[in-house]
Structure 1
Amino acid sequence: MIEILTLIIALLSLIVAYIVYYNNSIGDVVVYAQVDKRRQTIINLIIHNIGKGIAKDIQFICPKGIPKKAYGISGLSEPLKHYDSGAFINGLPILFPDEKLVYSWGQYGGLKEALNGEPLEIEITFFSRSNFQLIRRKIKNRVVIDPTAFEGVDISESSFENEVKQSLKDIAKSLKNMSS
């Protein structure tokens, strides 16, 4: 009886170890929007492999098309354009763990108008496998990106940057006064 219980515990431990290993060795590709910290008012569209494994043959499907360069604070400053080449159209052959591709997507007003105030839905398909798998596994992710989530968010310079600038100005002024 003890031998059977020990065997069951050993098998369960093996299954749990495999699940942990598997979850830590496959890729997981997502697309999301993020404020550009270096350029005020710009929102970036980021392709990111957040998994711990390699993702291969990555394809993006967006039936409505993905707006491109949607600039304008209060609306589009130029006619609407969609991506017609690059990763969103041709896909990516490979994306390594924690690798990112950053696209300058647009400004809040331009993106809101380009998407008619509706969220952008993207389906991502890719292949990833662990060392113990004999065949590649096709993985599908669906992401929803809503630029209206940035409404009312202050995406200008951060208060920390302003404080550092002010402190440097004060130090420069003090040094100037000391040398006089």
Structure 2
Amino acid sequence: MNIVEVLTLIISLLALLVTYLVFKSNETPRIVIYATPHYGKETFIRLHVKNIGKGIAEKVVIKSSQPVPRRAFGITKLNQHLEFFESGILKHGIELIFPNQEYVYDWGQYGGLVEALNDKPITFEVSYKYRYPLSLWKSPVSDRSVINIRELEALPSTTGSLIEQIGKIHRELEQLNKQLPKVSK
């Protein structure tokens, strides 16, 4: 073998390795946990657990840096007894979570969650098993998500401003209805 054939072989093998690594990283699951305002229920905040990757995660276990509050309602402060998740996926995990599969909970309201979380960010560690392409066994994988409830401060879910906006629209429509008979004459 001459030097050109050896270099060609080495470059081909490196290109194959890079292609496999890109394929491998593109096919893995990625589970994130995040909070969003609930636009259908104005002051509610939703907790999402979602696989944003392209692979199937198995034997999913979710752990958190502090107990995860449940039904933490109250716009300015917690207005009922503090509850924590004692059942469901946050307690028992998930056997399988497919790509784009999502679990959504009405988590609470801004003031209630600030108080229930002691005004501290909550960190979620999600561990699961995944069989990489061309692998014979499942490997442990983990993802980390951090939710700082203060990031939702000043959104409609913290103030209830959507109700105020709807009320303003209602009042303006009533004024228009009163003026319509005058315009039609």
TM-score range relative to shorter protein: 0.7 to 0.9
Question: 1:37 maps to what in 2?
Answer: 39
Q: In structure 1, what residue type is equivalent to 2:92?
A: N
Q: Which consecutive unaligned segments of at least 5 residues does structure 2 have?
A: none
Return the offset for 1:35: 1.2
Question: Pairwise mapping of residues 163-178 of structure 1 onto structure 2 (< 5 A)?
Answer: none
Structure with greater Cα Rg: 2
Q: Which consecutive unaligned segments of at least 5 residues does structure 1 have?
A: none
Q: Distance in 2 between matches of 1:44 and 1:141?
A: 20
Q: In structure 2, what residue type is equivalent to 1:103?
A: Y
Question: 1:79 maps to what in 2?
Answer: 81
Aligned length: 171
Q: Distance in 2 between matches of 1:105 and 1:120?
A: 13
Q: Distance in 1 between matches of 2:99 and 2:151?
A: 27
TM-score using structure 2 length: 0.83
Question: 2:23 maps to what in 1?
Answer: 21
Cα RMSD of the aligned pairs, angstroms, is 2.5
Return the offset for 1:39: 1.2
TM-score using structure 1 length: 0.85
Percentage of matched positions with identical amino acids? 36
| Aligned 8 A contact 1:25 1:129 in 2 | no
Closer, same or farther in 2 for the Cα pair 1:127/1:179, shift >3 Å? Answer: farther
Misfit runs of 4+, over 6 Å:
176-180
Greater mean deviation of Cα atoms: 46-55 or 31-40: 31-40
Question: 1:140 maps to what in 2?
Answer: 142
After superposition, give the CA deviation of every residue in 1:103-132 in whole Å (9 maximum; x if it has no partner): 110110000000110011111111112331
Q: Distance in 2 between matches of 1:4 and 1:36?
A: 60
Question: Pairwise mapping of residues 27-176 of structure 1 onto structure 2 (< 5 A)?
Answer: 27-155=29-157, 156-157=161-162
Q: Distance in 2 between matches of 1:18 and 1:7?
A: 17
SS in 1 for 2:156: coil
SS in 2 for 1:133: coil
Q: In structure 2, what residue type is equivalent to 1:87?
A: I
